[in-house]
C-alpha cells in the first residue's frame, strides 16, 4: 500500500462534519485554513485528539455491518499515534486488552497507532483479532484448533513462536506487528490479559466436560480506519460479543471448529438425514451454552434478539438526527433464526459513508455496500 497525499475534499468534508455535529467548536473556517496549509506543506495533516475521537466514533457509526452501533458515542479512544515501533505497538495491544476486559464488564475501546504518512506507512497488526487461537495441521490432514488461523500460526512459528508443549484446540497466539521497512515485533499475550470463558450448558452436563471455551473480548485488529482522508492501518477496536458470533459461526462453521456433527451425536439426535433438523437443534443448544456460560462468568455478552431490537432503536435515533444509517442487511441479520428478529423484516440505506473501516490491503474509500 503506497502511502499517498491526502484527499483534500475528504479532509474538508470531515472537518465540516465535526463542526456541524459539535457547535461548541465554533466556526469551521479557522480549522479548515490550518488543515489546508498543513496539507500544502507536508502532504498530510494531523487530527486533533478531539477530531480523532469523533472520527473513530463516526467510523463505528458508519459501520454498515455492525449491529452494535447504538452505543457508538461510548467508544473510548486511546491516542497512541506516536507509536511506530512494532514491539511497543504490541505491548500497547496487551494494555488495550486489559482496559477493555475490565474483569468482565467489557468496555468498547479503540487504540490508535501511527497513521500512514506520505512515503511512510504506519505499522500493521497481522492478527485479525488480538486474541486468536492457533491451528495445527495433523499428520492425517486434520486440523487441531481454529482453521481460520492456519496462516497466522505458521507465520508465528516462522518468527520463533513456541507452541505449548501439549498443543490444544485453544492455544492463544502471540500478537504480530510489522512495519513497511521490514521490522516486526511479536509479543505473547500474558494470561492476565486474556479472559476466557469455559463453556457449559444449563441442561446438558456433559458439555462442560468437552473443554470448550472462548475468549471474552473480540478486538478486531486488521482493519484500516479512514478519517478525513487519513488512513490508520493499526487501530484495534472492540465491543462485546453477540452470542451467535461464537455459537453460530466460530464454533459451528465448517471451516472453523465445525462442532455440530459431534454435538448432534452427543445429543443423541438422528443425524442420518437433514429432515430431522439435527443441525438446527445442535446449533440452538450450542448458542444456549455460550450465552449461559458468559452470564455465569459475569462477562458482558448480548443475544441476537435483544441486539436486533436495540439496533432498530439506533436506526430510529439516526433518522431523528437527520442522518442516514448505512446498513448491510446480509451482516445485520443474525446467522441463526433470522426471521425471528425484527431487523429481518425491512430494508436499509445502502450508501457507504466515511469515516469508516476498510480491510487492510485496500486503498481509498469503497462506495458500495455489496
Catalytic residues: 66, 69, 240, 245
In sequence order, which residues have a C-beta less than 8 Å from that of residue 182 and are 6 or more positions away?
A: none
Q: From residue 245 to residue 274, what is the string marking binding to ligand HEM with x (rule CB under 6 A)?
A: x-----------------------------
Q: Which three cell numbers stand for residue 35?
A: 488543515
Stretch that binds a second copy, among 45-53, 68-76, 89-97, 298-306 (CB under 8 A): 298-306
Number of neighbours of residue 60 by Cβ within 10 angstroms:
24
Measure the N-to-C terminal CA separation of the chain; round to a whole number of Å.
Answer: 23
Footprint on residues 48-67 left by ligand HEM (CB under 6 A): 60, 63, 65-67
241: nearest Cα among 284, 294, 171: 294
Q: Which of 329, 365, 366, 369 binds a second copy (CB under 8 A)?
A: 329
Q: Which C-beta is closer to a second copy: that of 98 or that of 281?
A: 281
DSSP string, 7-74: -HHHHHHHHHHHHHH-GGG--SHHHHHHHHHHHHHHSS----HHHHHHHHHHHHHT-TT-TTGGGGGG
Stretch that binds a second copy, among 128-136, 146-154, 166-174, 245-253 (CB under 8 A): 245-253
Q: From residue 11 to residue 50, what is the string marking binding to ligand HEM with x (rule CB under 6 A)?
A: ----------------------------------------
Q: Residue 329, interface with ligand HEM (CB under 6 A)?
A: no
Q: Residue 143, interface with ligand HEM (CB under 6 A)?
A: no
Question: SS3 for 44?
Answer: coil
Q: The dihedral of CA 225, 54, 42, 364: what is its sign?
A: positive
Q: Are 361 and 64 in contact (CB under 8 A)?
A: no
Q: Which three cell numbers stand for residue 234?
A: 493499526
Q: Which three cell numbers stand for residue 155?
A: 507465520
What does R_g of the chain's alpha carbons equal in angstroms?
Answer: 22
Q: Which C-beta is closer to ligand HEM: that of 245 or that of 280?
A: 245
199 binds, among ligand HEM, a second copy, none (CB under 5 to 8 A by kind): none
Q: Residue 201, interface with a second copy (CB under 8 A)?
A: no
**What is the binding site for a second copy (CB under 8 A)?**
248-249, 252-253, 260, 274-277, 279-281, 283-284, 287-288, 291-292, 295, 303, 305-306, 329-330, 333-340, 344-345, 347, 370
**What is the binding site for ligand HEM (CB under 6 A)?**
60, 63, 65-68, 71, 75, 108, 110, 237, 239-240, 242, 245, 302, 307, 331, 357
Amino acid at each position: 500500500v503506497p502511502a499517498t497525499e491526502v484527499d483534500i475534499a475528504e479532509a474538508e468534508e470531515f472537518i465540516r462534519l465535526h463542526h456541524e455535529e459539535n457547535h461548541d467548536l465554533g466556526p469551521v473556517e479557522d480549522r479548515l485554513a490550518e488543515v489546508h496549509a498543513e496539507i500544502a506543506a507536508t502532504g498530510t495533516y494531523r487530527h486533533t485528539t478531539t477530531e480523532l475521537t469523533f472520527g473513530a466514533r463516526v467510523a463505528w457509526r458508519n459501520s454498515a455491518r455492525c449491529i452494535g452501533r447504538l452505543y457508538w458515542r461510548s467508544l473510548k479512544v486511546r491516542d497512541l499515534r506516536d507509536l511506530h515501533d512494532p514491539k511497543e505497538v504490541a505491548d500497547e495491544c496487551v494494555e488495550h486488552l486489559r482496559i477493555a476486559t475490565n474483569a468482565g464488564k467489557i468496555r468498547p475501546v479503540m487504540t490508535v497507532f501511527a497513521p500512514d504518512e506520505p512515503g511512510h506507512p504506519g505499522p500493521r497488526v497481522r492478527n485479525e483479532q488480538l486474541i486468536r487461537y492457533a491451528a495445527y495441521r495433523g499428520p492425517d490432514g486434520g486440523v487441531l484448533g481454529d482453521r481460520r488461523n492456519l496462516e497466522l500460526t505458521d507465520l508465528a512459528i516462522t518468527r520463533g513462536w513456541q507452541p505449548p508443549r501439549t498443543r490444544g484446540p485453544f492455544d492463544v497466539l502471540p500478537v504480530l506487528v510489522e512495519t513497511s521497512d521490514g521490522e516486526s515485533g511479536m509479543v505473547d499475550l500474558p494470561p492476565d490479559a486474556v479472559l476466557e470463558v469455559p463453556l457449559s450448558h444449563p441442561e446438558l452436563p456433559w458439555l462442560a466436560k468437552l473443554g470448550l471455551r472462548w475468549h471474552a473480548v473480540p478486538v478486531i485488529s486488521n482493519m484500516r480506519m479512514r478519517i478525513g482522508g487519513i488512513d490508520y492501518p493499526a487501530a484495534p477496536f472492540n465491543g462485546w460479543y453477540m452470542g451467535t458470533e461464537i455459537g453460530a459461526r466460530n464454533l459451528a462453521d465448517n471451516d472453523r471448529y465445525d462442532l455440530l456433527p459431534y454435538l448432534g451425536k452427543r445429543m443423541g439426535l438422528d443425524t442420518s438425514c437433514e429432515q430431522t433438523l439435527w443441525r438446527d437443534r445442535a446449533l440452538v443448544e450450542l448458542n444456549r451454552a455460550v450465552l449461559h456460560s458468559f452470564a455465569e462468568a459475569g462477562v458482558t455478552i448480548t443475544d441476537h434478539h435483544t441486539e436486533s431490537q436495540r439496533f432498530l432503536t439506533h436506526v430510529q435515533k439516526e433518522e431523528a438526527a437527520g442522518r442516514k444509517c448505512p446498513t448491510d442487511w446480509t451482516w445485520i441479520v443474525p446467522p441463526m433464526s433470522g426471521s425471528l428478529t425484527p431487523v429481518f423484516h425491512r430494508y436499509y440505506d445502502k450508501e457507504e459513508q466515511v469515516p469508516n473501516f476498510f480491510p487492510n490491503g485496500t486503498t481509498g474509500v469503497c462506495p458500495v455496500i455489496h
